[in-house]
C-alpha cells in the first residue's frame, strides 16, 4: 500500500514540475512515506529525519521536509514538537493533497498538517508513476475493522472502506489499455472487500469480474485474514487461471491461548481446516504466512506449538518477527513479559526451521513445468530473462528484453538459493 501511495504522490509531483533525485544534497524537498507496523521501520525514519533536520538547521539550507503515511496518523502534531524543522505532515487518506500542501510550504507556510480519515483514501490517477511497465499495484480498500491487539493499522489507516467495484473495474481496464499485464489488488484485509456495500459485490465476485478483462494476464492480491478466507474465494481462484496460486494467510501463532490474546478470531484447528480445504480445491497452491514470537504471555510451550504448526503446515515461506509494542494498540495493556534475548532466540529458531522447510518445498519442484510471466532482462547475465511463476516464485530462463510480458511454460532444472533456473518448453 505504501509503495502505491509513493507512486501516486511521485506522479502528481512530477506533473507539477518536480524532478526526482537520488542525492539528498540536490533535493529541494524530502518527503518520507512511513510505516508504523514495526518499531524498526519508525526508528529508521526518526534517524534519517533527525539527520536532515540537523543539516537544515546548521547549514541554514532551504530544505523542505515532509512526512506522509502511517506515522503521521500515529503521532500527529507531536511530530512537529520532536522535529521543529519538519514542514508538513499528510495522512494516509490525503495522499492526493501532497502537491497542494507542498505548494503552500514553498509559498512560505510551515508546520502544515492534513489528516482526514473520513475520506475514502484510495485515489486512482493517470499520473501515477508506476515503478514497472508490466505490473501495477492497485488498492481496492483501505483500513481494517478487525481488533487484533498487536496491530496499529486500525489507528493509522482507519475503518474499512472499499472502492466501488465499477471504479476498480474501470481502472483495471485502463491499465490493460496501457499494456500492463499484471495487477496486485491491495488492502489491509483485502478479502473483506465489499462488506460496506449493499450491492452484493464481494471480493470473490470482484476477482471473477476482473478475470474477464482482456489484456490483464495475472491477478494477485494481498493481504488476507483467516476469518474472511472462504470456500467461495478458493473456488474463484481455482476456476480462473489468471489469478495467482500464492495465498498469504497470516497465522501469527500456533497456540490457541496466544491467538485469543491477539484476538485473531480463529483457533489453530479452524485455520488448519481452511489450509487443507484450500490445498484440496487449488492444487499446487503456495501458502505463505506471518508469525510473531514473544507476544505477551507466550510461554515455551506456546512457542513449541508455533514450531509444530510450521512443521505441520509447511509454508512456502514465512515472515517471522519479534514482538514489539506499538503504542496505542490494545496490547499496550498487556505486560511485555518475554525478555528480548528469548525473543531473539525464538525468532532465530523459527527462521532456521522455515529456511529448511522452504528449501524442501522449493527443491521438490525441480523437474516440474510451470506457467510463467517474463518480468525483465537478467542484467547480470546476457541472454537471460527473469520470470515469475503463478505461485510467485522467481525463475531465470533464456531470453531477451523482447520477451518481457510474454507468458510461457518453463521446466525447472535447478535451484540457487530461492531462485529457480529453468528452460523453455
CATH 3.30.750.210 fits 130-244, yes or no: yes
What pLDDT shows up at residue 60? 81
pLDDT at 141 over 80: yes
* Segment 59-90, tens digit of pLDDT: 888 899 999 999 999 999 999 999 999 999 99
What pLDDT shows up at residue 87? 97
pLDDT band at 312 (very low <50, low <70, confident <90, very high): very high
| C-alpha to C-alpha distance for 156 and 139, rounded to whole angstroms | 16
What pLDDT shows up at residue 198? 84
What letter would DSSP give residue 163?
P
* Segment 11-44, tens digit of pLDDT: 999 999 999 998 888 999 999 999 998 889 999 9
- Residue 136's Cβ-side half-sphere holds a number of Cα atoms within 13 Å equal to 26
* Residue 197: Cβ within 10 Å count: 12
Superfamily of domain 369-424: Nucleic acid-binding proteins (2.40.50.140)
Domain ranges of the chain: 2-114, 130-244, 277-364, 369-424
What is the DSSP secondary-structure string of 346-394? HHHHHHHHHHHHHHHHHHTTTT-EEEEEEEEE-TTSTTEEEEEETTS-E
What pLDDT shows up at residue 121? 75
CATH code reported for the domain at 277-364: 3.30.750.200
What pLDDT shows up at residue 225? 96
* Segment 222-259, tens digit of pLDDT: 999 999 999 999 999 999 999 999 999 999 999 999 99
Burial of 360 (0-12, 13-18, 19+ CB in 10 A): exposed
Strand 407-416 to 369-377 pairing:
antiparallel
Whole-structure pTM value: 0.94
- Residue 413's Cβ-side half-sphere holds a number of Cα atoms within 13 Å equal to 10
CATH code reported for the domain at 2-114: 3.40.50.12160
Per the rule left: phi > 0, alpha: psi between -120 and 50, beta: everything else, 263 is left
**Is 130-244 the same fold as 2-114?**
no
| C-alpha to C-alpha distance for 208 and 133, rounded to whole angstroms | 24
Amino acid at each position: 500500500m505504501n509503495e502505491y501511495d509513493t507512486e501516486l504522490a511521485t506522479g502528481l509531483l512530477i506533473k507539477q514540475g518536480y524532478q526526482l533525485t537520488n542525492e539528498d544534497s540536490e533535493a529541494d524537498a524530502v518527503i518520507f512515506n512511513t510505516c508504523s507496523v514495526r518499531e524498526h521501520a519508525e526508528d529508521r525514519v526518526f534517524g534519517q529525519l533527525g539527520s536532515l533536520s540537523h543539516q537544515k538547521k546548521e547549514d541554514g539550507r532551504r530544505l523542505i521536509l515532509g512526512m506522509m503515511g502511517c506515522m503521521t496518523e500515529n503521532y500527529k502534531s507531536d511530530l512537529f514538537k520532536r522535529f521543529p524543522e519538519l514542514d508538513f505532515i499528510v495522512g494516509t487518506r490525503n495522499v492526493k493533497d501532497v502537491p497542494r500542501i507542498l505548494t503552500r510550504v514553498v509559498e512560505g507556510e510551515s508546520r502544515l498538517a492534513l489528516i482526514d480519515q473520513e475520506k475514502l483514501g484510495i485515489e486512482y490517477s493517470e499520473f501515477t508513476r508506476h515503478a514497472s511497465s508490466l505490473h501495477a499495484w492497485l488498492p481496492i480498500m483501505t483500513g481494517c475493522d478487525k481488533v487484533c491487539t498487536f496491530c496499529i493499522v486500525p489507528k493509522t489507516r482507519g475503518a474499512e472502506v472499499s472502492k466501488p467495484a465499477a471504479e476498480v473495474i474501470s481502472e483495471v481496464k485502463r491499465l490493460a489499455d496501457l499494456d500492463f499485464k499484471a495487477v496486485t489488488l491491495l488492502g489491509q484485509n483485502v478479502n473483506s472487500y465489499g462488506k460496506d456495500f449493499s450491492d452484493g459485490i464481494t471480493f470473490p465476485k470482484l476477482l471473477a469480474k476482473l478475470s474477464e478483462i482482456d489484456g490483464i494476464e495475472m491477478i494477485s492480491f494481498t493481504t488476507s485474514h483467516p476469518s474472511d478466507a472462504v470456500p467461495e474465494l478458493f473456488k474463484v481462484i481455482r476456476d480462473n487461471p489468471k489469478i495467482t496460486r500464492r495465498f498469504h494467510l497470516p497465522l501469527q501463532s500456533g497456540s490457541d491461548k496466544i491467538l485469543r490474546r491477539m484476538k485473531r478470531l480463529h483457533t489453530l484447528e479452524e485455520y488448519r481446516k481452511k489450509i487443507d480445504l484450500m490445498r484440496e480445491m487449488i492444487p499446487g497452491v503456495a501458502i505463505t504466512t506471518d508469525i510473531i514470537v514473544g507476544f505477551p504471555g507466550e510461554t515455551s510451550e506456546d512457542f513449541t506449538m508455533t514450531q509444530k504448526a510450521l512443521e505441520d503446515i509447511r509454508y512456502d515461506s514465512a515472515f517471522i518477527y519479534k514482538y514489539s509494542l506499538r503504542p496505542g494498540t490494545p496490547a499496550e495493556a498487556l505486560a511485555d513479559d518475554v525478555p528480548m534475548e528469548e525473543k531473539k532466540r525464538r525468532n532465530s529458531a523459527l527462521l532456521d526451521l522455515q529456511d529448511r522447510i522452504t528449501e524442501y518445498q522449493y527443491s521438490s519442484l525441480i523437474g516440474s513445468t510451470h506457467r510463467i510471466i517474463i518480468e525483465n532482462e537478467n542484467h547480470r547475465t546476457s541472454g537471460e530473462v527473469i520470470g515469475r511463476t503463478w505461485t510467485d516464485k522467481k525463475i531465470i530462463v533464456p531470453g531477451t528484453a523482447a520477451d518481457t510480458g510474454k507468458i510461457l511454460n518453463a521446466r525447472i532444472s535447478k535451484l540457487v538459493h530461492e531462485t529457480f533456473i529453468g528452460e523453455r518448453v
